[in-house]
Structure 1
């Protein structure tokens, strides 16, 4: 059995309750943005069409793991969608707000499923732990 403090130092990823809390935060973000979108009465066709758009950032891995991680992280961090949401509120722009809510919902479900921000070591190395076949036990 691996000592969790040692596992955290070796992988840079949270374990135990902290890992669970981070994943629950993702679930709450997904549910919250989806409920907000429903209350907003946004188009569900737009929601479905845009929900997976951030995953197009996977294509950047064709240029190597460093470039892939940078592009993936740019598309999967809270920075741009929260800025977009703020701009949408300030400008009273419904489409901008819809895009921001959908984008945040996508990030939330990814985090809930354990797909965290990527390290340049490779796609499977995330801030929430390893993913894929070489995954370490939680």
Structure 2
């Protein structure tokens, strides 16, 4: 049995969080570069889709723009939370990318957009922004 000083636990968790955020940052760079590569290889439409899908997840804030005055700083209005969380789950664009790859009729601009979406989610996680609680607060 190992005796662990209670004071070292927060330091260990902080190191783990830092490593996870670094991994998300690497993912953001990878998927961003992949989106740019797709745009270069497949033209303007792929580039536009990559940019649009990179921006789109944060447009979920607009769902509850009229409720924003009632929210505290850093809090998302409760009405927007389900949309925000759905648009910020990494599994969604990854599964759609797999579908694009395995189906015979895939479309390069859509794949580039999904790369942009995944880059957005990864960048958010790298910066410390994750999913929200039902009250609209950041989860730890």
TM over 0.5, shorter chain: yes
Q: Are 1:86 and 2:98 matched, yes or no?
A: yes
Structure 1 unaligned spans of 5+: 8-13, 128-138
- Work out which of the residue numbers 119, 123, 127 in structure 2 matches 1:109: 123
> Which structure is larger by alpha-carbon Rg, 1 or 2?
2
Q: For the aligned residues, what is the CA RMSD?
A: 2.8
TM-score (norm 2): 0.69
Q: Are 1:49 and 2:52 matched, yes or no?
A: yes
Other structure's SS at 2:129 match: coil
Other structure's SS at 1:122 match: coil
RCO higher in 1 or 2 (8 Å CA, sep ≥ 6)?
2
TM-score (norm 1): 0.70
Matching residue of 2:25: 27
| Residues 64-119 of structure 1 deviation map (CA, whole Å, 9 limit, x = unaligned) | 84442222110001121011101111223212211110100000111111111111
Maintained 8 Å contact 2:35/2:113: no
Supply the distance in 2 between the matched residues of 1:32 and 1:68 (Cα, whole angstroms). Answer: 29
- Structure richer in helix, relative to its length: 2
Corresponding residue pairs, total: 118
Q: Are 1:18 and 2:30 matched, yes or no?
A: no
Matching residue of 1:126: 139
Supply the distance in 2 between the matched residues of 1:16 and 1:120 (Cα, whole angstroms). Answer: 25
Supply the distance in 1 between the matched residues of 2:89 and 2:62 (Cα, whole angstroms). Answer: 17
